[in-house]
């Protein structure tokens, strides 16, 4: 079997093109230098050839840019002088965003193939738009509604009454119950949405389960990573705001409210009834206690333990989570103390393993 060393292995990714330089520049939202070159695909700076397009995302790779053979390069205005003479400059204030658009030009998302696979199980009263695709062995429950141009992956289970807005993509082996999804919601393989939350009372005879009577609401353009779990609410809905992206293996408990355009990295755990404002960024493995509130545009560091409210715009790290400047100041102080402390020599030991006595010291 041959190995493919470029970007977008044709075994897995369909490619369009070649595209004229002017079309690529238009996709990136920038002006095109005069050239009739045709570009066939994408590549990293170090691997790109004369018929491929690349980009510089950070000045740290300026030396690599100077050596590139790429036919065209997306660069920030501050870095355009580093583009070699053989490459065309596509100058943009946002090279990474432009690259995303160019990548979508060459490798657009696969189209939905409308229809229901013969092995799928669909309830008689389910409403499925004629433009939707239901893949092999998917299950669509009673009263469920599947909107236009949705795609339900193989083995996915859409429970009774679930509603999916237009252009949702549900990955293989996802299960969704007690949920309402907006438009263009993407749920990646293995995610679990709408199951009962971790709610119970401690009674004399043991645990007494508390009915979880809320739903899960995923607003427009939400993305839910692989094997992430979102519990339905108990007395109110669990809500994920528009544009928010959850990484793989995130746990969202019952009654949680997450605002718009948040980014939450892998292995984060959010306890019940926590509220997270808009545009919050949470790094991996952070944990949130129940009922805590996080203000808009706050940033929570990796492995932070959020046990109390965080103000809007704050940057916190550590466990318990505290302002980053305060924590780093304390670390610097401890380092200074450690450097100034005199070294203690390890005691010498005799042949029998016992510590030797100092001269004139009685044992």
| Residues identified as active-site | 254
Can you give the length of the chain in residues?
363
Element (H, E) at 269: strand 269-270
Instruction: Specify the 3-state DSSP secondary structure of 105.
Output: helix
250: left (phi over 0), alpha (psi -120 to 50) or beta: beta
Q: How far is CA 242 from CA 109, 185, 223, 352, in A?
A: 21, 9, 9, 72
Element (H, E) at 209: strand 206-209
Instruction: Specify the 3-state DSSP secondary structure of 217.
Output: strand
Element (H, E) at 63: helix 62-67
| Phi and psi, residue 103, nearest 5° | -60, -40
What distance, in Å, lies between the first and last C-alpha atoms of the chain? 77
Please check whether residue 281 is in contact with residue 261, taking contact to mean a CB–CB distance below 8 angstroms. no
d(CA 144, CA 177): 10
CA dihedral over 43, 48, 52, 56, signed as positive or negative: positive
d(CA 324, CA 316): 5
| Phi and psi, residue 325, nearest 5° | -60, -40
Q: How far is CA 140 from CA 133, 156, 177, 224, in A?
A: 12, 8, 11, 20
3 C-beta neighbours (distance < 10 Å), count? 5
Please check whether residue 161 is in contact with residue 141, taking contact to mean a CB–CB distance below 8 angstroms. yes
d(CA 67, CA 47): 10
């Amino acid at each position: 079997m041959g190995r493919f060393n470029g970007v977008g292995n044709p075994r897995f990714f369909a490619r369009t093109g070649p595209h004229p330089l002017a079309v690529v520049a238009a996709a990136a939202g920038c002006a095109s230098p005069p050239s009739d070159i045709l570009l066939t695909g994408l590549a990293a700076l170090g691997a790109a050839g004369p018929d491929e397009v690349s980009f510089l995302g950070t000045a740290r790779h300026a030396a690599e840019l100077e050596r590139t053979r790429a036919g065209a390069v997306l660069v920030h205005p501050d870095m355009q002088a580093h583009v070699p003479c053989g490459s065309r400059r596509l100058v943009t204030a946002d090279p990474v965003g432009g690259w995303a658009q160019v990548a979508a030009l060459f490798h657009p998302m696969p189209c939905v193939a409308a229809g229901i696979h013969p092995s799928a199980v669909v309830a008689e009263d389910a409403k499925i738009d004629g433009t939707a695709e239901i893949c092999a062995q998917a299950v669509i429950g009673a009263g469920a509604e599947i909107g236009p141009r949705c795609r339900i992956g193989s083995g996915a289970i859409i429970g009774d009454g679930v509603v999916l807005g237009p252009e949702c993509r549900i990955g293989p082996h996802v299960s969704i119950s007690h949920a309402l999804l907006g438009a263009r919601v993407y749920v990646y393989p293995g995610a679990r949405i709408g199951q009962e939350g971790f709610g119970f009372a401690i009674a004399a005879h043991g645990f007494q389960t508390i009915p979880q009577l809320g739903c899960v609401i995923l607003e427009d353009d939400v993305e839910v990573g692989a094997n992430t779990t979102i519990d339905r609410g108990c007395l109110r809905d669990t809500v994920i705001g528009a544009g928010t992206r959850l990484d793989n293996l995130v746990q969202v408990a019952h009654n949680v409210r997450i605002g718009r355009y948040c980014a939450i990295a892998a292995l984060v755990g959010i306890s019940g009834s926590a509220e997270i404002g808009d545009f919050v960024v949470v790094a991996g493995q952070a944990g949130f206690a129940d009922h805590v509130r996080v203000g808009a545009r706050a940033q929570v560091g990796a492995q932070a333990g959020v046990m109390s409210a965080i103000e809007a715009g704050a940057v916190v790290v550590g466990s318990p989570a505290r302002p980053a400047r305060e924590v780093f100041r304390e670390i610097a102080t401890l380092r200074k103390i450690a450097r100034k402390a005199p070294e203690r020599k390890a005691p010498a030991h005799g042949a029998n393993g016992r510590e030797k006595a100092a001269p004139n010291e009685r044992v």
